[in-house]
Protein backbone atom coordinates (compact mmCIF):
# COMPACT_ATOMS: atom_id res chain seq x y z
CA UNK A 1 0.00 0.00 0.00
CA UNK A 2 2.69 2.44 1.00
CA UNK A 3 4.68 1.61 -2.10
CA UNK A 4 2.12 3.56 -4.15
CA UNK A 5 3.18 6.73 -2.36
CA UNK A 6 6.91 6.24 -2.89
CA UNK A 7 7.10 8.27 -6.14
CA UNK A 8 5.21 11.09 -4.46
CA UNK A 9 7.51 11.04 -1.47
CA UNK A 10 10.56 11.06 -3.75
CA UNK A 11 9.15 14.01 -5.72
CA UNK A 12 8.44 15.98 -2.53
CA UNK A 13 11.94 15.24 -1.26
CA UNK A 14 13.52 16.42 -4.54
CA UNK A 15 11.39 19.56 -4.44
CA UNK A 16 12.46 20.17 -0.85
CA UNK A 17 16.15 19.83 -1.80
CA UNK A 18 15.67 22.21 -4.70
CA UNK A 19 13.87 24.69 -2.48
CA UNK A 20 16.66 24.59 0.08
CA UNK A 21 19.25 25.10 -2.66
CA UNK A 22 17.21 27.99 -4.04
CA UNK A 23 16.88 29.64 -0.64
CA UNK A 24 20.55 29.13 0.15
CA UNK A 25 21.65 30.61 -3.16
CA UNK A 26 19.21 33.50 -2.89
CA UNK A 27 20.44 34.26 0.64
CA UNK A 28 24.06 34.23 -0.58
CA UNK A 29 23.24 36.63 -3.42
CA UNK A 30 21.23 38.94 -1.21
CA UNK A 31 24.00 39.07 1.37
CA UNK A 32 26.56 39.80 -1.33
CA UNK A 33 24.33 42.54 -2.76
CA UNK A 34 23.83 44.08 0.69
CA UNK A 35 27.56 43.96 1.43
CA UNK A 36 28.21 45.88 -1.80
CA UNK A 37 25.58 48.51 -1.00
CA UNK A 38 23.16 47.35 -3.70
CA UNK A 39 19.43 48.02 -3.56
CA UNK A 40 17.58 44.88 -4.70
CA UNK A 41 14.68 45.84 -6.96
CA UNK A 42 13.49 42.49 -8.33
CA UNK A 43 13.93 38.81 -7.61
CA UNK A 44 12.75 35.88 -9.73
CA UNK A 45 10.27 33.42 -8.23
CA UNK A 46 11.00 29.88 -7.19
CA UNK A 47 9.16 28.47 -10.19
CA UNK A 48 11.00 30.59 -12.75
CA UNK A 49 13.34 28.75 -15.08
CA UNK A 50 16.37 30.65 -13.78
CA UNK A 51 17.05 32.40 -10.52
CA UNK A 52 17.89 36.10 -10.91
CA UNK A 53 18.23 39.28 -8.88
CA UNK A 54 18.12 42.80 -10.30
CA UNK A 55 19.66 45.53 -8.19
CA UNK A 56 21.02 49.04 -8.45
CA UNK A 57 23.75 51.19 -6.98
CA UNK A 58 23.49 54.78 -8.11
CA UNK A 59 23.58 54.77 -11.90
CA UNK A 60 24.89 51.21 -12.02
CA UNK A 61 22.44 48.41 -12.75
CA UNK A 62 23.33 44.89 -11.62
CA UNK A 63 22.03 41.44 -12.48
CA UNK A 64 22.91 38.29 -10.56
CA UNK A 65 21.60 35.23 -12.34
CA UNK A 66 22.21 31.62 -13.10
CA UNK A 67 24.32 31.16 -16.21
CA UNK A 68 21.72 28.74 -17.61
CA UNK A 69 18.39 27.35 -16.35
CA UNK A 70 19.03 25.48 -13.10
CA UNK A 71 22.74 26.07 -13.65
CA UNK A 72 25.22 25.92 -10.79
CA UNK A 73 27.38 28.80 -12.09
CA UNK A 74 26.47 32.40 -11.30
CA UNK A 75 26.67 35.14 -13.92
CA UNK A 76 27.37 38.66 -12.65
CA UNK A 77 26.48 41.55 -14.94
CA UNK A 78 27.06 45.24 -14.18
CA UNK A 79 25.74 47.83 -16.63
CA UNK A 80 27.80 51.02 -17.01
CA UNK A 81 25.86 54.02 -18.42
CA UNK A 82 28.89 56.30 -18.87
CA UNK A 83 31.22 57.45 -20.32
CA UNK A 84 30.01 58.20 -23.82
CA UNK A 85 30.78 55.44 -26.33
CA UNK A 86 31.62 52.95 -23.56
CA UNK A 87 29.14 50.56 -25.17
CA UNK A 88 31.56 50.34 -28.15
CA UNK A 89 34.41 49.06 -25.99
CA UNK A 90 34.92 45.31 -25.94
CA UNK A 91 37.38 43.33 -23.86
CA UNK A 92 37.70 39.58 -23.48
CA UNK A 93 40.24 36.93 -22.70
CA UNK A 94 42.84 36.64 -25.44
CA UNK A 95 43.18 33.21 -26.99
CA UNK A 96 46.21 31.81 -28.81
CA UNK A 97 46.37 32.88 -32.43
CA UNK A 98 44.15 35.94 -32.07
CA UNK A 99 45.14 39.15 -33.81
CA UNK A 100 46.67 41.86 -31.68
CA UNK A 101 43.74 44.24 -31.12
CA UNK A 102 44.46 47.48 -29.24
CA UNK A 103 47.47 47.24 -26.95
CA UNK A 104 47.68 49.58 -23.99
CA UNK A 105 51.43 49.13 -23.45
CA UNK A 106 51.30 46.89 -20.35
CA UNK A 107 52.70 43.54 -21.48
CA UNK A 108 50.92 41.44 -18.84
CA UNK A 109 47.58 43.12 -19.56
CA UNK A 110 48.00 43.00 -23.35
CA UNK A 111 48.86 39.29 -23.19
CA UNK A 112 45.71 38.63 -21.17
CA UNK A 113 43.03 40.64 -22.97
CA UNK A 114 41.89 41.37 -26.50
CA UNK A 115 40.59 44.94 -26.70
CA UNK A 116 38.51 46.77 -29.29
CA UNK A 117 36.86 50.18 -29.26
CA UNK A 118 37.37 53.93 -29.78
CA UNK A 119 41.12 54.42 -29.39
CA UNK A 120 41.05 57.61 -27.31
CA UNK A 121 38.54 56.10 -24.88
CA UNK A 122 40.58 52.92 -24.54
CA UNK A 123 43.72 54.96 -23.84
CA UNK A 124 41.83 56.87 -21.14
CA UNK A 125 40.05 53.93 -19.50
CA UNK A 126 42.78 51.42 -18.78
CA UNK A 127 45.02 53.13 -16.27
CA UNK A 128 47.09 51.17 -13.75
CA UNK A 129 44.33 50.73 -11.17
CA UNK A 130 41.80 49.59 -13.76
CA UNK A 131 44.23 47.09 -15.26
CA UNK A 132 44.97 45.69 -11.81
CA UNK A 133 41.26 45.32 -11.04
CA UNK A 134 40.43 43.56 -14.29
CA UNK A 135 43.36 41.17 -14.01
CA UNK A 136 42.24 40.27 -10.46
CA UNK A 137 38.72 39.49 -11.71
CA UNK A 138 39.98 37.51 -14.68
CA UNK A 139 42.26 35.43 -12.47
CA UNK A 140 39.14 34.06 -10.73
CA UNK A 141 36.62 33.99 -13.58
CA UNK A 142 36.50 34.71 -17.33
CA UNK A 143 35.87 38.45 -17.75
CA UNK A 144 34.15 40.15 -20.65
CA UNK A 145 33.13 43.74 -21.35
CA UNK A 146 30.62 44.23 -24.16
CA UNK A 147 27.65 46.48 -24.98
CA UNK A 148 28.29 48.59 -21.93
CA UNK A 149 28.33 45.67 -19.48
CA UNK A 150 30.96 44.00 -17.32
CA UNK A 151 30.32 40.25 -17.15
CA UNK A 152 31.85 37.35 -15.25
CA UNK A 153 30.76 33.79 -14.53
CA UNK A 154 31.83 32.50 -11.12
CA UNK A 155 31.29 29.77 -8.60
CA UNK A 156 28.80 30.70 -5.89
CA UNK A 157 31.41 31.05 -3.17
CA UNK A 158 33.21 33.73 -5.25
CA UNK A 159 30.11 35.89 -5.82
CA UNK A 160 30.79 38.38 -2.98
CA UNK A 161 34.43 38.93 -3.96
CA UNK A 162 33.96 39.21 -7.73
CA UNK A 163 30.80 41.33 -7.44
CA UNK A 164 32.70 43.82 -5.30
CA UNK A 165 35.56 44.03 -7.82
CA UNK A 166 33.19 44.45 -10.77
CA UNK A 167 31.34 47.26 -9.02
CA UNK A 168 34.61 49.00 -8.24
CA UNK A 169 35.71 48.77 -11.86
CA UNK A 170 32.30 49.88 -13.17
CA UNK A 171 32.27 52.84 -10.81
CA UNK A 172 35.69 53.94 -12.03
CA UNK A 173 34.55 53.62 -15.64
CA UNK A 174 31.39 55.63 -14.97
CA UNK A 175 33.24 58.53 -13.32
CA UNK A 176 35.56 59.27 -16.22
CA UNK A 177 34.52 62.71 -17.47
CA UNK A 178 37.40 64.39 -19.32
CA UNK A 179 38.67 61.64 -21.60
CA UNK A 180 41.35 63.72 -23.36
CA UNK A 181 42.75 64.91 -20.04
CA UNK A 182 42.91 61.32 -18.78
CA UNK A 183 45.08 60.41 -21.77
CA UNK A 184 47.48 63.22 -20.83
CA UNK A 185 47.54 62.02 -17.21
CA UNK A 186 48.26 58.46 -18.29
CA UNK A 187 51.10 59.72 -20.48
CA UNK A 188 52.68 61.32 -17.40
CA UNK A 189 51.74 59.16 -14.45
CA UNK A 190 51.25 55.52 -15.39
CA UNK A 191 53.87 53.28 -13.73
CA UNK A 192 54.35 51.28 -16.95
CA UNK A 193 56.66 53.00 -19.45
CA UNK A 194 54.91 51.24 -22.32
CA UNK A 195 51.56 52.72 -21.32
CA UNK A 196 53.03 56.21 -20.96
CA UNK A 197 54.55 55.88 -24.42
CA UNK A 198 51.34 54.65 -26.06
CA UNK A 199 49.34 57.55 -24.60
CA UNK A 200 52.01 60.06 -25.66
CA UNK A 201 52.09 58.66 -29.20
CA UNK A 202 48.31 58.90 -29.39
CA UNK A 203 48.45 62.59 -28.47
CA UNK A 204 51.16 63.23 -31.06
CA UNK A 205 49.28 61.38 -33.77
CA UNK A 206 45.75 62.65 -33.10
CA UNK A 207 46.34 66.10 -31.58
CA UNK A 208 49.81 67.20 -32.77
CA UNK A 209 49.29 70.96 -32.57
CA UNK A 210 47.29 71.24 -29.37
CA UNK A 211 48.83 72.89 -26.37
CA UNK A 212 48.22 69.91 -24.10
CA UNK A 213 50.23 67.73 -26.50
CA UNK A 214 53.17 70.14 -26.55
CA UNK A 215 53.09 70.35 -22.75
CA UNK A 216 52.92 66.57 -22.54
CA UNK A 217 56.00 66.30 -24.76
CA UNK A 218 57.90 68.79 -22.64
CA UNK A 219 57.02 66.85 -19.51
CA UNK A 220 58.01 63.59 -21.19
CA UNK A 221 61.52 64.96 -21.82
CA UNK A 222 62.09 64.31 -18.13
CA UNK A 223 60.58 60.81 -18.15
CA UNK A 224 62.63 58.03 -16.49
CA UNK A 225 62.42 56.00 -19.72
CA UNK A 226 65.11 56.93 -22.28
CA UNK A 227 62.82 55.69 -25.06
CA UNK A 228 60.11 58.18 -24.05
CA UNK A 229 62.63 61.02 -23.65
CA UNK A 230 63.96 60.24 -27.12
CA UNK A 231 60.52 60.24 -28.75
CA UNK A 232 59.42 63.41 -26.98
CA UNK A 233 62.62 65.27 -27.88
CA UNK A 234 62.33 64.23 -31.53
CA UNK A 235 58.76 65.51 -31.70
CA UNK A 236 59.78 68.86 -30.19
CA UNK A 237 62.30 69.53 -32.96
CA UNK A 238 64.96 72.10 -32.15
CA UNK A 239 63.55 72.51 -28.64
CA UNK A 240 64.45 68.89 -27.92
CA UNK A 241 68.03 68.92 -29.24
CA UNK A 242 69.52 69.36 -25.78
CA UNK A 243 67.75 66.23 -24.54
CA UNK A 244 68.89 64.30 -27.60
CA UNK A 245 72.52 65.31 -27.04
CA UNK A 246 72.27 64.19 -23.42
CA UNK A 247 70.88 60.84 -24.58
CA UNK A 248 73.57 60.47 -27.22
CA UNK A 249 76.31 61.03 -24.65
CA UNK A 250 74.60 58.92 -21.97
CA UNK A 251 75.97 55.52 -21.04
CA UNK A 252 72.57 54.20 -19.93
CA UNK A 253 71.51 52.35 -23.07
CA UNK A 254 73.40 51.80 -26.31
CA UNK A 255 70.18 51.52 -28.34
CA UNK A 256 68.73 54.90 -27.37
CA UNK A 257 72.12 56.60 -27.54
CA UNK A 258 72.48 55.41 -31.14
CA UNK A 259 68.97 56.54 -32.05
CA UNK A 260 69.62 59.94 -30.49
CA UNK A 261 72.68 60.39 -32.74
CA UNK A 262 70.57 59.55 -35.78
CA UNK A 263 67.72 61.83 -34.67
CA UNK A 264 70.07 64.80 -34.20
CA UNK A 265 71.47 64.67 -37.72
CA UNK A 266 73.20 67.92 -38.63
CA UNK A 267 72.26 69.40 -35.24
CA UNK A 268 75.02 67.29 -33.62
CA UNK A 269 78.30 69.28 -33.57
CA UNK A 270 81.15 67.56 -35.43
CA UNK A 271 83.50 67.72 -32.43
CA UNK A 272 80.92 66.05 -30.18
CA UNK A 273 80.26 63.34 -32.77
CA UNK A 274 83.99 62.59 -32.97
CA UNK A 275 84.37 62.34 -29.20
CA UNK A 276 81.22 60.27 -28.97
CA UNK A 277 82.58 57.81 -31.55
CA UNK A 278 85.89 57.50 -29.68
CA UNK A 279 84.11 56.80 -26.39
CA UNK A 280 81.72 54.35 -28.02
CA UNK A 281 84.61 52.41 -29.57
CA UNK A 282 86.50 52.33 -26.28
CA UNK A 283 83.43 51.06 -24.40
CA UNK A 284 82.38 48.75 -27.25
CA UNK A 285 79.00 50.42 -27.55
CA UNK A 286 78.60 49.12 -31.07
CA UNK A 287 75.21 50.61 -31.97
CA UNK A 288 76.28 54.09 -30.97
CA UNK A 289 79.57 53.69 -32.83
CA UNK A 290 77.72 52.59 -35.98
CA UNK A 291 75.42 55.60 -35.75
CA UNK A 292 78.41 57.93 -35.36
CA UNK A 293 80.19 56.37 -38.34
CA UNK A 294 77.12 56.86 -40.50
CA UNK A 295 76.78 60.42 -39.20
CA UNK A 296 80.40 61.23 -40.11
CA UNK A 297 79.88 59.93 -43.63
CA UNK A 298 76.96 62.34 -44.07
CA UNK A 299 78.52 65.27 -42.25
CA UNK A 300 80.22 66.84 -45.27
CA UNK A 301 83.25 67.69 -43.14
CA UNK A 302 86.59 66.84 -44.75
CA UNK A 303 88.00 65.90 -41.34
CA UNK A 304 85.64 62.93 -41.28
CA UNK A 305 87.75 61.11 -43.89
CA UNK A 306 90.72 60.53 -41.60
CA UNK A 307 88.49 59.35 -38.76
CA UNK A 308 86.64 56.90 -40.99
CA UNK A 309 89.89 55.59 -42.49
CA UNK A 310 91.19 54.91 -38.98
CA UNK A 311 88.01 53.03 -38.04
CA UNK A 312 88.23 51.03 -41.27
CA UNK A 313 91.83 50.07 -40.52
CA UNK A 314 91.36 49.19 -36.85
CA UNK A 315 87.97 47.48 -36.79
CA UNK A 316 86.50 44.30 -38.15
CA UNK A 317 83.01 43.11 -39.03
CA UNK A 318 80.06 45.50 -39.00
CA UNK A 319 82.06 48.53 -37.87
CA UNK A 320 84.63 48.17 -40.65
CA UNK A 321 81.90 47.63 -43.25
CA UNK A 322 80.02 50.67 -41.96
CA UNK A 323 83.19 52.79 -42.17
CA UNK A 324 83.70 51.68 -45.78
CA UNK A 325 80.14 52.60 -46.72
CA UNK A 326 80.47 55.93 -44.90
CA UNK A 327 83.59 56.73 -46.93
CA UNK A 328 81.53 56.19 -50.03
CA UNK A 329 78.82 58.45 -48.66
CA UNK A 330 81.31 61.31 -48.29
CA UNK A 331 81.67 61.50 -52.07
CA UNK A 332 85.28 62.57 -51.57
CA UNK A 333 88.08 61.46 -53.98
CA UNK A 334 90.24 60.97 -50.88
CA UNK A 335 88.08 57.98 -49.96
CA UNK A 336 89.16 55.93 -52.98
CA UNK A 337 92.70 54.81 -51.93
CA UNK A 338 91.71 53.28 -48.57
CA UNK A 339 88.73 51.61 -50.21
CA UNK A 340 90.97 50.04 -52.86
CA UNK A 341 93.18 48.66 -50.11
CA UNK A 342 90.09 47.27 -48.40
CA UNK A 343 89.25 45.19 -51.47
CA UNK A 344 92.29 43.07 -50.62
CA UNK A 345 91.08 42.15 -47.15
CA UNK A 346 89.77 38.58 -47.16
CA UNK A 347 86.45 39.44 -45.56
CA UNK A 348 83.45 39.02 -47.87
CA UNK A 349 81.12 41.48 -46.14
CA UNK A 350 83.85 44.09 -46.03
CA UNK A 351 84.74 43.56 -49.69
CA UNK A 352 81.09 43.99 -50.67
CA UNK A 353 80.90 47.21 -48.62
CA UNK A 354 84.09 48.57 -50.20
CA UNK A 355 82.82 47.76 -53.72
CA UNK A 356 79.51 49.48 -52.97
CA UNK A 357 81.38 52.51 -51.68
CA UNK A 358 83.60 52.62 -54.76
CA UNK A 359 80.47 52.66 -56.87
CA UNK A 360 79.96 56.16 -55.46
CA UNK A 361 83.49 57.56 -55.30
CA UNK A 362 85.59 55.32 -57.52
CA UNK A 363 87.40 56.50 -60.65
CA UNK A 364 88.87 54.57 -63.58
CA UNK A 365 91.72 53.63 -61.24
CA UNK A 366 89.29 51.37 -59.40
CA UNK A 367 88.10 49.46 -62.47
CA UNK A 368 90.96 46.97 -62.70
CA UNK A 369 91.02 46.10 -58.95
CA UNK A 370 87.24 45.63 -59.09
CA UNK A 371 87.57 43.43 -62.18
CA UNK A 372 90.19 41.28 -60.49
CA UNK A 373 88.01 41.03 -57.40
CA UNK A 374 85.07 39.81 -59.50
CA UNK A 375 87.27 37.23 -61.26
CA UNK A 376 88.80 35.84 -58.07
CA UNK A 377 85.56 35.51 -56.09
CA UNK A 378 83.48 33.20 -58.25
CA UNK A 379 82.52 31.34 -55.06
CA UNK A 380 81.05 34.57 -53.63
CA UNK A 381 78.28 35.75 -55.99
CA UNK A 382 77.50 38.72 -53.76
CA UNK A 383 81.05 40.06 -54.11
CA UNK A 384 81.04 39.54 -57.88
CA UNK A 385 77.70 41.31 -58.20
CA UNK A 386 78.87 44.28 -56.10
CA UNK A 387 82.14 44.58 -58.05
CA UNK A 388 80.43 44.49 -61.44
CA UNK A 389 77.82 47.00 -60.32
CA UNK A 390 80.57 49.31 -59.08
CA UNK A 391 82.33 49.14 -62.47
CA UNK A 392 79.06 49.99 -64.20
CA UNK A 393 78.50 52.95 -61.90
CA UNK A 394 82.03 54.25 -62.49
CA UNK A 395 81.56 53.92 -66.24
CA UNK A 396 78.31 55.86 -66.11
CA UNK A 397 80.17 58.82 -64.61
CA UNK A 398 82.78 59.07 -67.40
CA UNK A 399 82.49 62.17 -69.63
CA UNK A 400 80.31 61.41 -72.61
CA UNK A 401 79.55 57.92 -71.37
CA UNK A 402 76.28 56.14 -71.85
CA UNK A 403 75.04 52.84 -70.46
CA UNK A 404 76.66 49.68 -71.80
CA UNK A 405 80.00 51.20 -72.77
CA UNK A 406 82.16 49.24 -70.36
CA UNK A 407 84.06 46.28 -71.69
CA UNK A 408 86.47 44.32 -69.52
CA UNK A 409 88.79 42.37 -71.81
CA UNK A 410 90.81 39.41 -70.61
CA UNK A 411 94.12 41.27 -70.61
CA UNK A 412 97.18 41.50 -68.48
CA UNK A 413 97.20 43.69 -65.41
CA UNK A 414 97.00 47.41 -65.88
CA UNK A 415 96.06 47.43 -69.56
CA UNK A 416 93.21 49.95 -69.40
CA UNK A 417 92.50 52.47 -72.12
CA UNK A 418 89.65 54.77 -73.06
CA UNK A 419 89.00 54.60 -76.78
CA UNK A 420 87.08 57.46 -78.42
CA UNK A 421 85.37 55.28 -81.00
CA UNK A 422 82.04 55.81 -82.62
CA UNK A 423 80.32 53.86 -79.90
CA UNK A 424 82.45 55.43 -77.15
CA UNK A 425 83.29 52.04 -75.67
CA UNK A 426 85.53 51.70 -72.65
CA UNK A 427 87.84 48.72 -73.01
CA UNK A 428 90.93 47.16 -71.51
CA UNK A 429 93.64 47.54 -74.16
CA UNK A 430 96.04 44.77 -75.08
CA UNK A 431 98.98 47.14 -74.74
CA UNK A 432 101.95 45.46 -73.05
CA UNK A 433 102.96 48.79 -71.61
CA UNK A 434 99.83 48.68 -69.52
CA UNK A 435 99.29 52.41 -69.73
CA UNK A 436 96.00 54.22 -69.29
CA UNK A 437 95.52 56.45 -72.30
CA UNK A 438 92.94 58.18 -74.45
CA UNK A 439 93.42 57.21 -78.09
CA UNK A 440 91.97 59.54 -80.69
CA UNK A 441 92.40 60.62 -84.28
CA UNK A 442 95.84 61.22 -85.66
CA UNK A 443 97.31 64.61 -85.18
User: What does the pLDDT average to over 401-421?
Assistant: 43
Q: Are the beta carbons of 324 and 339 closer than 8 angstroms? A: yes
Q: Which residue has the higher pLDDT, 214 or 43?
A: 214
- Report how far residue 126's alpha carbon sits from residue 172's, in angstroms, rounded to the nearest whole number: 10
Q: Which residue has the higher pLDDT, 439 or 68?
A: 68
Report pLDDT for 27.
Answer: 81
Report whether pLDDT(252) > 90: no
Report pLDDT for 425.
Answer: 43
Q: Cβ contacts of residue 191 below 8 Å, gap of 6+?
A: 128
User: Tell me, what DSSP letter sits at residue 151?
Assistant: E
Report pLDDT for 214.
Answer: 95
Report whether pLDDT(317) > 60: yes
Q: Band the pLDDT of 433: cuts 50, 70, 90.
A: very low
- Report how far residue 200's alpha carbon sits from residue 213's, in angstroms, rounded to the nearest whole number: 8
List domains and CATH numbers for the chain: 14-177 (3.30.1460), 178-220 (no CATH), 226-290 (no CATH), 300-397 (1.25.10.10), 405-443 (no CATH)
What secondary structure does DSSP assign to 158-196, as a single string?
A: GHHHHHHHHHHHHHHHHT---HHHHHHHHHHH-S-HHHH
- Report how far residue 361's alpha carbon sits from residue 301's, in angstroms, rounded to the nearest whole number: 16
Report pLDDT for 227.
Answer: 95
Report pLDDT for 40.
Answer: 85
- Report how far residue 180's alpha carbon sits from residue 163's, in angstroms, rounded to the nearest whole number: 29
Report pLDDT for 410.
Answer: 39
* H helices present in 38-158, as ranges: 107-112, 119-125, 128-140
- Report how far residue 322's alpha carbon sits from residue 327's, in angstroms, rounded to the nearest whole number: 9
Q: Helix, strand or coil for residue 430?
A: coil
Q: Which residue has the higher pLDDT, 237 or 1?
A: 237
- Report how far residue 388's alpha carbon sits from residue 367's, in angstroms, rounded to the nearest whole number: 9
Top mean pLDDT of 143-157, 189-203, 383-397, 425-439 is at 189-203
Q: Band the pLDDT of 53: cuts 50, 70, 90.
A: confident
- Report how far residue 173's alpha carbon sits from residue 165's, in angstroms, rounded to the nearest whole number: 12
- Report how far residue 319's alpha carbon sits from residue 284's, in angstroms, rounded to the nearest whole number: 11
Report pLDDT for 7.
Answer: 60
Q: Band the pLDDT of 432: cuts 50, 70, 90.
A: very low
Q: Are the beta carbons of 61 and 54 closer than 8 angstroms? A: yes
Greatest Cα-to-Cα distance within the chain, rounded to the nearest angstrom: 145
- Report how far residue 280's alpha carbon sits from residue 339's, in angstroms, rounded to the nearest whole number: 23
Report pLDDT for 296.
Answer: 96
Q: Pairing relation of β-strands 437-439 and 417-419?
A: parallel
Q: Report the share of the chain in percent with pLDDT over 70.
A: 82
Q: Band the pLDDT of 356: cuts 50, 70, 90.
A: very high
Q: Are the beta carbons of 396 and 432 closer than 8 angstroms? A: no
Q: Cβ contacts of residue 246 below 8 Å, gap of 6+?
A: none
List C-alpha distances in Å: 421 to 199, 365, 400, 425, 440.
67, 21, 12, 7, 8
Q: Cβ contacts of residue 404 below 8 Å, gap of 6+?
A: none
Q: Are the beta carbons of 133 and 169 closer than 8 angstroms? A: yes
Question: How many CA atoms lie less than 13 Å away from 232 in the CB half-sphere?
Answer: 27
pLDDT in tens, 220-230: 999 999 999 99
Report whether pLDDT(16) > 70: no
pTM listed for this prediction: 0.76
Report pLDDT for 38.
Answer: 87
* H helices present in 315-415, as ranges: 317-330, 336-342, 348-361, 367-376, 381-396
Mean pLDDT (the chain, rounded): 84
Report pLDDT for 439.
Answer: 40
Q: Which residue has the higher pLDDT, 399 or 384?
A: 384
Report whether pLDDT(387) > 50: yes
Report pLDDT for 6.
Answer: 54
Q: Helix, strand or coil for residue 336?
A: helix
- Report how far residue 436's alpha carbon sits from residue 28's, in angstroms, rounded to the nearest whole number: 101
Report whether pLDDT(239) > 60: yes
Top mean pLDDT of 24-38, 44-58, 118-132, 410-424 is at 118-132
Range with lowest mean pLDDT among 100-104, 146-150, 391-395, 433-437 = 433-437
pLDDT in tens, 63-114: 988 866 555 788 999 999 888 889 999 999 888 767 778 999 999 999 999 9
Report whether pLDDT(441) > 50: no
Amino acid sequence: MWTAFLPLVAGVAALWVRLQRYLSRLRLWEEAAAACGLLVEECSGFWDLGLAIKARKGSLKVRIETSRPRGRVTRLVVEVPEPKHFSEVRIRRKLAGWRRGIEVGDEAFDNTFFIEGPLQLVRALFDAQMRHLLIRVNAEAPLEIARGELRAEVRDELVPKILSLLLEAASRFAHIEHVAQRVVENAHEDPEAGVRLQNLLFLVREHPKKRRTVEALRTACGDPSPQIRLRAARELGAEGHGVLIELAESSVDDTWSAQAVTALGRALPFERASVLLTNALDRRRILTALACVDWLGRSGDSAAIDILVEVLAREEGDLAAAAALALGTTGSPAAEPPLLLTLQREQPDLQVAAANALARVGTTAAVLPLKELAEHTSHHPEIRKAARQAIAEIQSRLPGASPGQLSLAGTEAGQLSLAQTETGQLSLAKDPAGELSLSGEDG
